[in-house]
Structure 1
Amino acid sequence: MDQIVDRNLVGSVKLSDINTRVQRANAHFNRLLAVKSAGRQTVDVDQEISEISSQIDNLIQDLSAYRDTYATSDQRRRLDDIIHSLADYKSAVAWVGSMLGIDFASTVSFIEPFGAVFDRVQSELTSIVEETGRDAQLRAAEATRQAQYTVQTFLYSAVAVMLGIALLAWLIGRYQQRLRISSEMLRQQVEMRTAELRQANSDLVASAETLRQLGDAGLALTATLDLAEVHVALHNHLSGLVPLDAFGIAHLSVDGHQLVFDQFVANGQALPAFTRKAEAAEPAVQALRQGVELVIVGDSATRWAASVAALDWDIQAAVWWPLVVSGRVLGLITVQSRDIGAYNPQALEILRSACAYAAIAIANARSYYELEATLVELRTTQGQLVQQEKMASLGRLVAGVAHEINTPLGVVLTAAGSLHGGVVDLRDAIAQGRLTRAALEAGIGEWADLATVVERNALRTAALVKSFSAVAVDESGGRVLETDLSILLDDLVTLFRPALDRSAIRLVAAVPDGLVLRTVPESLTDALTRILSNTIDHAFIGRSDGRVVLSAVTALDGVVITVSDDGVGIPDDLIGKVCDPFFTTGRASGHPGLGLHVAYNQVTQRLRGNLEIRSGTLGGTIVALRLPMLRS
């Protein structure tokens, strides 16, 4: 019986020790989360997670040994469940550790179900510890009862041997005393372990609540880009985490001579923004310039508060914490309290974590404001550039029109002057009686030639004006129709064939039958006619043969029509200019340089498509028209 009682006592103490170590492992992990939330980059997360996992492995081994040595059949089943829960706990620790540097908000949200596993393990272990203690006490009482029964039996059966009975009674008394001492020690140990477990559980609950509040603060601070809202949210969340009799957010002015308080809340009242001279001895100035945390308590805090007009009460503790992002000090946060012990190590850790969130939120808000200002400036600059480009384009257009029209008009004016001079000479000859038949016939011939020149150049001017009018696309002209491209492109080939028959240039169409496009057929025909005319006029200079292919294929949202040739091609330095108005390499041949420009306007404006000109991989030129389906 003595061995059974001792065995139960030892088993109860071992189980209490295991229960305490479970608490320590969980507390170790919660401290890691709290330190990591504070932005402590010096913490080796992998090492800490490895140590916690090793502790859990040892706990599982010791629980298995206890189950096999001390547990009852009912306890074995319950201990198996606890061992499985600890294995799950270990897996969760590894997962949370891997996510700490990636998504801290997700790790915080995982703590609640995570804590449920721990609570279940703690409750079950505590229950088994209490049951084991009670069982040990019951076994001690049973041993005492059996001992008393044995004494009575020996007294009744051995009255003659009083000395032996007395000796046996003394031994039994010692044994009973030992049992009572052991039972009392077990009870005290159980009570002590239970108190420790309750305190550890209370600390863990408080730690989890703090982490939750810090997570809420981080979400609230980073959810807005309004600087004033960030300041208010920071004050509201900090007031629920650390003692606050005064709270402020400040930064140095650009010249560094003024300490600017963007927000200051004293005794629950928000004060208007204000500035103070940035004196070197001012704690806030030291924290900003050195980028370090400053804490003052007691008389030092009281003397400092007395020197500040905004604070008219007894401050016993104050903290200044700089807001740093990527090595740049954005400002600082100060918290102050009448309680000298307000900012203990735990409160400072909470403050550091909150300030890390605040620094990121303030940096984001300031970047947003700077981006908005830059965007407004860019839009203004873009408008100015567009206006300048419009004026430059208009200038080029006017210069081109003037240049093209001046030549035929100059010829007309010259011819008209010659005609006027001839008429004056004829009139003078008639008045003086010097007119002869030969002179009259010569004058009539000259005047006929001049009239021909005037007519030819007037017609050229009219043709130029007509070409200029085609530069501006009439949006109201033409209707959107279902157009069979196989018919339209075949008609174009037929239209150009007479002109091509005089040379060895072949024009072929490669279009699937029934390829239909909703478009404006007049504008498409005009654009393709100008492109083909430009190809025939310029692609085969110096050559007597060539090949032009007019093809069409379906695209994702419409059709791609391609005009490709195997001609001389376009130099790289000119290919980007061929659609500019009045750009031509054949001005001496009478080309005004408007064909491709008009085609480009038709495709991009009236047909809502895109025109691209590029060199072919084997030479020649490719003109691609990407045309969408038009609705109306």
Structure 2
Amino acid sequence: MNATKPSDPAEFALGLLAAGSFGRVVQVFESRLRAEIPTVQLAMWWSLRPTAATTAALRCAPGSARDWAELEQARQVLLAGGPASGPAPATGSILRSLPLALKAGGQAVLQVRGDASGIGQLERDAAFLQMLALFELRVSDLLEARHLEGAVRRLERSEAVQRALFRIAELTGATTSMEEFYTAVHAQVGELLYARNFYIALLVDDGAAFDYPYAVDERDDPREIFRRQPLRHGLTEYVQRTGKPLLLDRAVRERLVAAGEIRMVGSPSVAWLGVPLVMEGQVAGVLAVQSYSEDILYGPRDQELLAFVAQNIATALHRRQVAESLRSAYAQLQAQLEELRRAQTELIENEKMASLGRLVAGVAHEINTPLGIAVTSASHLDDIFKGLERDPRIADRPEWVKALGKGRRCVDLILNNLGKAAQLVRSFKQVAVDQSNEVRRSVGIRAFLDDVLLSLHPRLKVTPHRVEVACAEDLALETLPGALYQVVSNILLNALLHAFEDGQAGLIRIVCTRSGDGIDLSIRDDGRGMPDSVRQHVFEPFFTTRRGRGGTGLGLHMVYNLVTQLLGGTIVCASAPGQGAEFTIRLPFNHEPGAAGTAAPTATS
């Protein structure tokens, strides 16, 4: 090689520094050599890995532009630690491979192609050796930069993974819905790899089917492809059967299809990656991503990353499911506890009402005997007075006639008030429900209500009020008709007595409907309604707002006892001032005689 100008090494060094890639560095070196030997060509094999045992990872610069470069010769040079020569593809040329002494980690081999005399002259030329040293320094710098870039990328990816895992763990304890949880998980996976097509499949029905709680796909309708269905021979089932990740490309897909391991479902993807979701040592589902583009493929690093993320997702999902189960169980326990408390309150209320009824009936029974004796005595006294009035001797004694008249009036007052007292005692005795006087039988509710209204017609016709009935003709109930008659008639008469202002034309509406294992009977008026202070006590004995005007306070108490004890049902009252009152009675289709019903609260707003 001819001597170069003094400035040439500096210009060459500047050219190398300006080159930012391995291919460009090789081209700068080759261009400088061709100024002296026009036929020379250069190529370089390089790798970031520092040992010769990994020479399979060698890459060529400037790439496909040097199709004559020999990978095998480069491997031999790295293994032997010295230069090697061999014939080049072109006639009369040789290929010389020189190991580069690099200060940074990594390895590289420079391959020179040309005629034998030219290559020999290069290796003996001091200028070439000086340029080779500069070339080695620049390659070392680029390798070191690649190392740093790789470290930065690995650190960034590691930080991204850590952020994603932290967010997934954070989502586990969040109070969001499962749909929001899956959406957030999808977003976290999308930050780590291509996940435009993503789905989660979970085993259900004791492992006999897959459910897809979350699926997003660019081509297929998730409602059609990703719906709950029995296990098939798709890719998802293959991952579930093997319990191992599957990185699928066309070649792997064709091999699995040919072996009968899978049958394709939906639009064929260019690349598919699925990993198992393992919970408590068992495959509980599959996490999968796929690509329909030739430009987007998945590799082993994606598989490793998705598998790692899937472990954390499975843990988070399991914790989430356990938390959801605990919340659901807690809610059920709370509901059951509330139901027990309500039942306890109702049983106490029922027992209180029943005890009051027995007390009233007992007192009435004790009063009945002396009351009967008093009625008998007063009647006998009245007979005596009548006999004296017929005695002719009395007619001659005006003072006796006057005294007898006063006595007769007193006896009439006594008998009249004793009669009222006896009627009241009979009402008291009815408070104690007697279950032995009637036989249960099936009644058509609509016909029964019509009969009740017919019997009350004399009371209704003298009022301006209307009564409407809404009930299916075929609705029937096995019950005690007499007790039910007392219930309906007492509520209707109570409405006539208390609900409406004088001169008001009111409406009473009776509605009967089927409800679960029984019927709901509603009796509603559009009258004045009741304040809470009244509504809360309507079923208590002796409570009335018309004391001294015909109200005894026993009608609705008797209704309550009949419904809850004899008919085995519940009754509630809802009312507000100016909004009328509604009594809702629920009666079961099947009720054993003598078994008390579970009463609802005595009054509701």
TM-score (norm 2): 0.41
Using CA pairs below 8 Å that are at least 6 residues apart, which structure has the higher relative contact order?
Answer: 1
Structure in which a larger fraction of residues adopt helix: 1
